[in-house]
Structure 1
Amino acid sequence: MSYLQFDKTQMTNLQDSLFKEFLITSRSGAYCSTTLVGCNIRKYHGLLVVPVPELDEENHVILSALDETIIQHGAEFNLGLHKYQGENYSPKGHKYITKFEWVKVPTWTYRIGGVVLKKEISYGVHDSRLYIRYTLVEAHSPTTLRLRPFLAFRNVHEWTHANGSADKSYKLIENGIKMCLYKGYPELNMQLTTDKAEFHYDPNWYMGLEYPKERERGYNSLEDLLVPGYFEMPIKTGESIVFSASVKEPEEPSKLSAMMDKEIAPRLPLDSFYHCLVHAAHQFKFQKDGESYLLAGYHWFKSRARDTFIGLTGLTLAIGETEEFESYMTTAQKAIYDYINKRPISVQIYEMDKPDVLLWAIRTVQNYALYTSSKQCYEKYGSLLKDMLDFIWSGKHPNLFLHENGLLYSNGKEEAITWMNSVANGKPIVARSGYIVEFNALWYNALKFIEELLLEAGTEEEKDLANRLHRMAEKVAISFKNTFLNEYGYLLDYVDGNMMDWSVRPNQLIAIALEYSPLNIKERKTVLDVCTKELVTPKGIRSLSPKSGGYNPMYIGKQTQRDYAYHQGTAWPWLTGFYLNAYLKVYKMSGVNYIERQLIGFEEELFYHCVGTIPELFDGNPRFSGRGAISFAMNVSGILTALHLVEKFRIMEEEDY
């Protein structure tokens, strides 16, 4: 029995199955994503969604859906499913699904009377080619397969509506056709492995398809799609037919089946919680023009600097992929040096200017040292570390100021400068400004890390710099406690003159989870206990305590309503990695069983939302529903990091015995 599996009862219950999604990605940033029942519920859904650099930097839905129909004795059984305005579903093909499972690729089994059909979907890792293989497992009489493509040719953020501008014409290619609805787009090539497939031209607009997730988010939710006709072909018992769709050049049809097998063969079987998360980690990989990036999430995020540095450890080092880490850092270094040398950013990493980005970058390099060695880290990234340190220390960042007390100060009143970056009317909703707790925790950690690295692996000439860092770190530690540690035993979130934010927020966890903390063990335990009581949920760490003013834990409603809840009580899984790390530092081996219990809560999430991965955030109150982006890099990273920590402690325990 496979790990990711749903039976007929689960698949035919639309209240449940309609909101289970899946995601397959390619290294180009293209993807295939819809629901397990094949009904698109977001404008971002589609079977072939690809970048079109000639138009813009966004993805575009080219092939939105493909309806399958089984024909026997003149009777037609349509396996597709679409939602139309007014809670109307047609043609309700989900009732024929007897099983969905995902071992290496998503696989459906349909039963229509005496007919059993298996469908598998795969995606080209590098060429963004969609493969759908249909295998007739069982049939007692002649059977015909009909395939009806639904075309969009639009930006993922926009809509298609019936119009007279669409070019409905097509051209024949070997075992298929090619079409291009609008100028500027590449041609869509649709091919089949059988030469018995006939294309029947019958162009029609299908009107009023509705996407409930967009309506739920307060957006327009209706779209029209063009169906140019259908492919029809006989299929025999035991025969497999592959449908291929691509914006690349047509392929020789006889090669498509072998090409699909070649794509599938090296894939990791999704047979456990861990392997699902490793697979999800690989889905964030994005390559362009020889550079390697991590996408922040799907479906709408790009590669963001802070997300890259927070997520990089769990998505590479924690799963044993050191070379992948180095590849991403090669690209990230270019962005760092472009920024600190005041050049235009030459790679596609966004938000490099945020004042905490270099602090997170130093912490990421520190993790590389922990997973490899100080010597290897110094040789590879020693110069980078010193250059980033000098940039911060010298006050070259326009919004990161080193004060006499050793703390870093940033102005966040007019612009969101931390990971809590939601805005309303152009202003930050959570205006964190002044001495910000995680900025200064990261600063202290950076000083101590680089000091120790230079002492252990640096040159004699660098010992003076190490001593300077030591003195500065001592000053920072004293100022940090005087500024942030309050009489109730937890840390203020930010301090700006007489303005002190007493809200209990999770950012203080970073101060006790890093390798070097300005707090002693007793102080760390007190902070941890407060966070445990007020912030921990089964699905992550709340962004605000229920006891604090402005608590708003439900991420629902229109965009503005959701923006005000985004960091005001919602739970974030990526912070769980910091919380569990802090817990282990305080409670050592006695904390391992507790951590394992915490991680179990995330395993069930692989069977909801987007199967096999973790969404962006959760409501902070029961039922702790998943919200936002269907797959979020920092969250997958945080949980993988926590799993690695547990395994590390288990090994230490065995060695002690």
Structure 2
Amino acid sequence: MISLSLSELSLEGALLREWAVSNGLGSYASSSVIGMNTRKYHGLLVAAKSSPAQRVVLLSKYEEGLEVNGEWADLSTNSYPDAVHPKGYMNLMEFRYDYAPTFVYKAGEHGMLLKRVCMVRKKNATLTSYTLMGEESATLKVSPLLSGRNAHADGGRIGWNAIADANGFHAAKPHSIYVRANGKFSKDEKFYYNMQYEHEKERGYAHSEDLYCPGTITIRLEKGRIAHVLASTSEMGIEFAADAIAKEHARDAQMLKLYYEKSGIAKNDFADALVRAADTFVFHAGSEYGIVAGYPWFGEWGRDALVSLEGICLSSGRYGLARKVLLRYAELAKDGQIPNFIDEKGVAQYTSADAAMWFLNAVHAYCAHTQDYEFVRKNLWETCKDIVRCSIRGNGLVHMNDDGLLKVRDGGSTWMDAKVDGKAVTPRFGKPVELNSLWYSNLVVMTGLAERFSENKNASVYMEAAHACRESFARYWNTEAECLYDTLEPCSVQVRPNQIFAVSVPFSPLNELQQRMVLSSVRTQLFTPLGLRTLSAEDKQFVASYCGNQKERDLAYHNGAIWPFLLGAFADAHLKVFPNSESTVLRMMMGFDAQIKIGCVGSIGEIFDNKTHAPVGAASQAWSVGEILRVYTKCRKATATDAPSWKASPLFEKSKAQMIQKWSGMR
């Protein structure tokens, strides 16, 4: 369990720390650790509709207060222009996070009020539970504040047609919502004007919203007894929801048990947090399973899902889930392409040049973990062959040149895809190095699979293509800089992290000396214990800080920002160049021990800022969590100890305390 103390629960702490839980449908509940919404994306019920990309903020928050022995105490905290009111954070004693967030408030002179927020699995419903401790009784007042807008939309003012019930209310317009409680509802319609969202202000967006309040729920609390408030998009009983939450708790325990049984490592809070965080990204829509790229604003992205699949599914022993995700993308494949993302209408968008390569890489990872080649042969093999066939012949995104290397048709189709005014910020035309690193490795994998499946003719074709690719890959070598060019045709001498994949892929196109030199170059110019920089600080295009408006942030996105998911490839490369160096790799990652208490508590965010090393971008990101969990599990399993070894090494000589202080984001 992760616990935050009083010193971490200040107003300043609210901008640094938040939480998020999901329901397995792509919906979520999220706020800051003091309950003050700092993003327009925050809300206690942010419901996904036909796609995880199509979310609506229904219930923004509850305005709460507690009366004990005639004395009133605010529990809520809100930001308004030039004011914070009320200041409920001053009554917050502790924040805890295990499978759900728990807030511990002071209640009277000797008591405590425990508040827990849980989502009902596979239902668009959030159950908030309150338990009084240390005092005989108290009166709790809860006023729901509703939004009703698309999660990406700017705040405005939306009216609702709330209809009062005995223990709550319901509304059909503009959206369906039901709020029920173990108490009495009194209708008193009003708006809370000019609620401010500080993160949106920092990001250069509109940051004010008026929230609709239909009235107030009054609940009589008794010592030791749990009272609930349930918000849902369809009629649902409180007892049903509470029972579902109890089953979810049991599922959580079973999920952790499976992880520790499969990995063989000792139970610890860090692994608990990452396994739980990994589960928040998994969603189930109809008969299909997928992986949400991140919270709070990402939907489903193919590349992200396939990069994170090994960590989220395979490292945690969830092989059945891995099969379902791979099947989904095999069904979505078209012309040898895997969707870059699924839009708000649920339509697949095929704009990624490398997502198909990550699909093949994920198939290899599945085989390595499970040895289940028969599943691959029956369900995925035709898709795999089609990807290679279309890549060789050419499709709308890539085509193989006579030299055996893949060339992209759009310079903004790799993972470095930020655009400003419709133009790629980091145009990578020609032959990106990571694309052809994956291409070579995947051709070797396909050769082996074809031989296993007795398709000797195909095996010969793949082997010949792999040989041609490796021969031509030598052109990436930058003799002067002793590393790899980022692209060929045109040739880019910028030092970027993409070259690390030429070392980390299962089958490297480089010789051992080149692998060592690439690792050294990346370590020297791009490595931080929180991830790799996207550009060398010595480059004139380097942007030191990820801040400002959308345009300013997009310019920094792939020109200096630190990406945690890249640490997975760096770790793999390190283990390849320095065998049996798992203890050193674990030491490299020690900054995340502290980091899971900053940003989205219990998770890892999308990117980190170069100057402050604070989490920025999306608060919780699938491939960040997946890659760190994958490498952590592999290394802990190899070291077979109860705790990471933080021994000094020539590469990483600082003590654990020094590293955490420098890189954790705490200032």
User: TM > 0.5 between the two?
Assistant: yes
**Which of 343, 360, 363 does residue 362 from structure 1 map onto?**
360
Q: Which residue is equivalent to 1:291?
A: 288
Amino acid of the structure 2 residue aligned with 1:620: N
Amino acid of the structure 2 residue aligned with 1:468: V
**Which of 150, 154, 163 does residue 155 from structure 1 map onto?**
150
Task: Say whether 1:495 aligns with 2:485.
Answer: no
Task: Say whether 1:266 aligns with 2:223.
Answer: no
For residue 161 of structure 1, report the CA deviation from its aligned partner.
3.3
Q: Percent identity?
A: 28
Cα pair distance change 1:18/1:357, threshold 3 Å: closer
Instruction: Give the distance between the partners of 2:47 and 2:338, measured in 1 at CA.
Output: 34
Q: Which residue is equivalent to 2:23?
A: 26
Q: Which residue is equivalent to 2:465?
A: 472
Q: Which residue is equivalent to 2:557?
A: 566
Q: Which residue is equivalent to 2:92?
A: 97
Instruction: Give the distance between the partners of 1:171 and 1:148, measured in 2 at CA.
Output: 13
Residues 577-614 of structure 1, C-alpha deviation per residue, up to 9 Å, x if partnerless?
0000011011101x222201111112211000110000
**Which of 510, 513, 525 does residue 501 from structure 2 map onto?**
510
Cα pair distance change 1:351/1:170, threshold 3 Å: same
Amino acid of the structure 2 residue aligned with 1:609: G
Amino acid of the structure 1 residue aligned with 2:459: A
**Which of 497, 518, 526 does residue 517 from structure 2 map onto?**
526
Cα pair distance change 1:546/1:78, threshold 3 Å: same
Q: Which runs of 5+ in 1 are unaligned?
A: 653-657
Q: Which residue is equivalent to 1:482?
A: 475
Residues 480-523 of structure 1, C-alpha deviation per residue, up to 9 Å, x if partnerless?
11244433220000021xx3210110000001111111111011
Instruction: Give the distance between the partners of 2:247 and 2:368, measured in 1 at CA.
Output: 36
Query: Which residues in structure 2 correspond to 1:158-307 (within 5 Å)?
Result: 158-162=153-157, 166-172=159-165, 175-182=167-174, 185-186=175-176, 188-193=177-182, 197-251=183-237, 253-268=238-253, 272-307=269-304
Q: Which residue is equivalent to 1:438?
A: 434
- Answer whether contact 1:303 1:350 (CA < 8 A) is retained: no
- Answer whether contact 1:537 1:620 (CA < 8 A) is retained: no
**Which of 626, 629, 636 does residue 637 from structure 1 map onto?**
626
Question: Which has the higher Rg, Structure 1 or Structure 2?
Answer: 1
Query: Which residues in structure 2 correspond to 1:335-374 (within 5 Å)?
Result: 335-337=332-334, 348=346, 350-373=348-371
Instruction: Give the distance between the partners of 2:527 and 2:242, measured in 1 at CA.
Output: 49
Instruction: Give the distance between the partners of 1:577 and 1:242, measured in 2 at CA.
Output: 42
Q: Which residue is equivalent to 2:663?
A: none
Residues 280-320 of structure 1, C-alpha deviation per residue, up to 9 Å, x if partnerless?
11111112121111111111111112112211111111111
- Answer whether contact 1:32 1:48 (CA < 8 A) is retained: yes
Q: Which residue is equivalent to 1:146?
A: 141
Query: Which residues in structure 2 correspond to 1:618-633 (within 5 Å)?
Result: 618-621=608-611, 623-633=612-622
Q: Which residue is equivalent to 1:386?
A: 385
SS in structure 1 of the partner of residue 547 of structure 2: coil
Amino acid of the structure 2 residue aligned with 1:171: A
Q: Which residue is equivalent to 1:130?
A: 126
For residue 94 of structure 1, report the CA deviation from its aligned partner.
0.9
Q: Which residue is equivalent to 1:655?
A: none
Query: Which residues in structure 2 correspond to 1:418-457 (within 5 Å)?
Result: 418-455=414-451, 457=452
For residue 340 of structure 1, report the CA deviation from its aligned partner.
5.9
- Answer whether contact 2:21 2:280 (CA < 8 A) is retained: yes
Instruction: Give the distance between the partners of 1:630 and 1:647, measured in 2 at CA.
Output: 26
Instruction: Give the distance between the partners of 2:77 and 2:480, measured in 1 at CA.
Output: 59
Instruction: Give the distance between the partners of 1:162 and 1:388, measured in 2 at CA.
Output: 48
For residue 554 of structure 1, report the CA deviation from its aligned partner.
1.0
For residue 245 of structure 1, report the CA deviation from its aligned partner.
0.8
Instruction: Give the distance between the partners of 2:507 and 2:409, measured in 1 at CA.
Output: 25
Residues 164-212 of structure 1, C-alpha deviation per residue, up to 9 Å, x if partnerless?
xx24441315x32212452xx21x111123xxx2222211111111000
- C-alpha RMSD of matched pairs (Å): 2.4
Amino acid of the structure 2 residue aligned with 1:126: K
Instruction: Give the distance between the partners of 2:90 and 2:589, measured in 1 at CA.
Output: 34
Instruction: Give the distance between the partners of 1:105 and 1:305, measured in 2 at CA.
Output: 28
Cα pair distance change 1:36/1:57, threshold 3 Å: closer
Instruction: Give the distance between the partners of 1:161 and 1:275, measured in 2 at CA.
Output: 39
Q: Which runs of 5+ in 2 are unaligned?
A: 257-266, 642-667
- Answer whether contact 1:448 1:516 (CA < 8 A) is retained: yes
For residue 345 of structure 1, report the CA deviation from its aligned partner.
9.0
Between the two proteins, the alignment pairs up a number of residues equal to: 625
SS in structure 2 of the partner of residue 208 of structure 1: strand
Cα pair distance change 1:485/1:122, threshold 3 Å: same
Cα pair distance change 1:265/1:447, threshold 3 Å: closer
Amino acid of the structure 2 residue aligned with 1:117: L
SS in structure 2 of the partner of residue 398 of structure 1: coil
Instruction: Give the distance between the partners of 2:559 and 2:246, measured in 1 at CA.
Output: 47
Instruction: Give the distance between the partners of 2:606 and 2:362, measured in 1 at CA.
Output: 21
Amino acid of the structure 2 residue aligned with 1:109: V
Residues 27-85 of structure 1, C-alpha deviation per residue, up to 9 Å, x if partnerless?
1111110011100000000001102449x962111111112211235432121110001
Residues 92-137 of structure 1, C-alpha deviation per residue, up to 9 Å, x if partnerless?
0111111111233211211133232111111101112211111111
Instruction: Give the distance between the partners of 2:602 and 2:50, measured in 1 at CA.
Output: 30
**Which of 76, 88, 111 does residue 72 from structure 2 map onto?**
76
Instruction: Give the distance between the partners of 2:115 and 2:457, measured in 1 at CA.
Output: 66
Instruction: Give the distance between the partners of 1:352 and 1:447, measured in 2 at CA.
Output: 22
Q: Which residue is equivalent to 1:65?
A: 61
SS in structure 1 of the partner of residue 26 of structure 2: coil
Instruction: Give the distance between the partners of 2:239 and 2:342, measured in 1 at CA.
Output: 44
Instruction: Give the distance between the partners of 1:447 and 1:256, measured in 2 at CA.
Output: 50
Instruction: Give the distance between the partners of 1:478 and 1:65, measured in 2 at CA.
Output: 59
SS in structure 2 of the partner of residue 441 of structure 1: helix
SS in structure 2 of the partner of residue 201 of structure 1: strand
Amino acid of the structure 1 residue aligned with 2:171: M
For residue 368 of structure 1, report the CA deviation from its aligned partner.
1.2
Amino acid of the structure 2 residue aligned with 1:478: E
Amino acid of the structure 2 residue aligned with 1:274: A
Task: Say whether 1:400 aligns with 2:398.
Answer: yes
Instruction: Give the distance between the partners of 1:33 and 1:354, measured in 2 at CA.
Output: 30
SS in structure 1 of the partner of residue 320 of structure 2: helix
TM-score normalised to the size of structure 2? 0.89
SS in structure 1 of the partner of residue 333 of structure 2: helix
Cα pair distance change 1:233/1:643, threshold 3 Å: closer
For residue 540 of structure 1, report the CA deviation from its aligned partner.
0.2
Cα pair distance change 1:214/1:200, threshold 3 Å: same
